[in-house]
Amino acid sequence: MKEAKKQGGLNAEIQSRIGHQLRAMYDDVVRQGVPDRFAELIRKLDGPEAAAAQIDETAKNDGRD
9 binds other proteins (CB under 8 A): no
Nearer to other proteins, 32 or 60 (CB): 32
- Here's the x/- map for other proteins, 26-65, by CB under 8 A: it reads as xxxxxxxxxx-xxx-xxx-xxxx-xxx-xx--x---x---
In our burial notation (b when 16+ CB lie closer than 10 A, e otherwise), range 28-54 reads eeeeeeeeeeeeeeeeeeeeeeeeeee
- Binding stretches for other proteins (CB under 8 A): 7-8, 10-11, 14-15, 17-19, 21-35, 37-39, 41-43, 45-48, 50-52, 54-55, 58, 62
